[in-house]
Amino acid sequence: MHLRHFSFILSLFFLLQSCFQEEEPVPPHEQGDMEEGRASLGFYYEDQVYFDLYSNVEVTSSSILGWDLSFESNTGGWTIRLNSAKFMLAGNSRDTVFSAGLNAGELEMKFDRSDGNPDSTAMAEWFVVSDDSAWSNRYVYLLDRGSDPQGNLLGQKKVRVDMLGEDYLLRFADPDNTQDTTVLITRDPSRDKVYYSFDDGIVNIAPLPDQWSLFFTRYTTMLVTDEGEDYPYLVVGVLLNPNGVAAVRDTIHGFEDLELDDIAELEFTTRADVIGYDWKYYNFDAGVYTMVPDMNYVIRDRNGYFYKLRFVDFYNDEGVKGYPTFEFVRL
């Protein structure tokens, strides 16, 4: 075997062992053809789309107004997330008296960071884990439910979460203590999250964890002003499926030139917002969104296949914004 080829195979072996240790190797296969995908978010980015690269389909689509909180459903996990597509915020009162009055101006209102790290969620302090046990701090949080796609405010809720065995006991009310409600959130072993709406109860939002690759949505992230100050902002972009999907922005190769042999040079990450939103920018002179050139990505899906992907448009065939269009090839 040629020394160069042997070195590549050896490097690729160690890369895959270190990054994806529990995955089975993908059998040899031919490179796929160029395909085009599109996520239909809508003019106001009112929908969230779960997209699967392997089958090139929108698996499911739902309104950003469909849910408020998600509860980790995996055994032993207790992460609660806000629906950041609505710019939701949560403030920890550090008080356990549910009837106490809460004022957002007196609390540090936080949002869930877009990197997917459970330690960077707004309600990360609601529980404590020690050795093999976990318990609730019983803190009362004030939630700002954010706004709808047209910018109308959705109001506030106060919440407290307890544990009942392996399940969640959610108590919530309006800030004036009316509409006081307690519900049991039961884990679903077939899903990684259970979604809850203050209006509709438990709702079916996401497909099964092994049915999708990319999540197209509005989400809240931290930007930096020209003065260097951090501030949260709503963006429109892509988040990764945390169940076995990884990606990297390729700054080394051109899209046409990138081949499977080249992935050994790339450092993959499971950080949720690695693709993110900045593959496009708003051209104020033209009044349209424009794709940033040479923003190429390589994605490893849950089946172990690698894809190269680039965005080519943000508009549908009728010229309506909110329809990210992309080209991709299975390597």
To the nearest whole percent, how much of the chain has pLDDT over 70? 91
Q: Of 260, 245, 248, 256, whose CA–CA distance to 28 is shortest?
A: 260
| Stated pTM of the model | 0.89
In this model, does residue 158 exceed pLDDT 70?
yes
15 to each of 5, 213, 260, 268, 289, how far by Cα in Å?
15, 21, 13, 9, 37
In whole angstroms, what is the distance from residue 235 CA to residue 109 CA? 19
Lowest mean pLDDT among 43-52, 130-139, 154-163, 224-233: 224-233
Q: Of 204, 209, 239, 208, whose CA–CA distance to 39 is shortest?
A: 239
Per the model's pLDDT, the better-predicted residue between 232 and 269 turns out to be 269
Residue with tokens 């197209």: 216
Q: What average pLDDT does this structure show over 34-38?
A: 96
Domain ranges within the chain, ordered by starting residue: 3-62+210-330, 68-204
Q: What's the sign of the alpha-carbon dihedral 305, 311, 315, 316?
A: negative
In this model, does residue 6 exceed pLDDT 50?
no
pLDDT of residue 328: 97
In whole angstroms, what is the distance from residue 226 CA to residue 200 CA? 41
pLDDT of residue 279: 97
Q: DSSP label at 276?
A: B
pLDDT of residue 20: 39
pLDDT of residue 91: 98
pLDDT of residue 8: 35
To the nearest whole percent, how much of the chain has pLDDT over 90? 84
In this model, does residue 75 exceed pLDDT 90?
no
pLDDT digits (tens, 9 = 90+) for 13-27: 334 333 433 445 555
As beta bridge partners, residue 92 has: 141
Residue 131 binned pLDDT confidence (cut-offs 50, 70, 90): confident
In this model, does residue 96 exceed pLDDT 90?
yes
Per the model's pLDDT, the better-predicted residue between 179 and 230 turns out to be 179
Per the model's pLDDT, the better-predicted residue between 275 and 225 turns out to be 275
pLDDT digits (tens, 9 = 90+) for 58-70: 999 999 999 999 9
pLDDT digits (tens, 9 = 90+) for 293-321: 999 999 999 999 999 999 999 999 999 99
In whole angstroms, what is the distance from residue 212 CA to residue 30 CA? 22
The whole-chain average pLDDT of the chain stands at 91
In whole angstroms, what is the distance from residue 298 CA to residue 251 CA? 10
Q: What average pLDDT does this structure show over 230-245?
A: 94
pLDDT digits (tens, 9 = 90+) for 165-221: 999 999 999 999 999 999 999 999 999 999 999 999 999 999 999 999 999 999 999
pLDDT of residue 221: 94
Q: What average pLDDT does this structure show over 34-57?
A: 97
Residue 28 binned pLDDT confidence (cut-offs 50, 70, 90): low
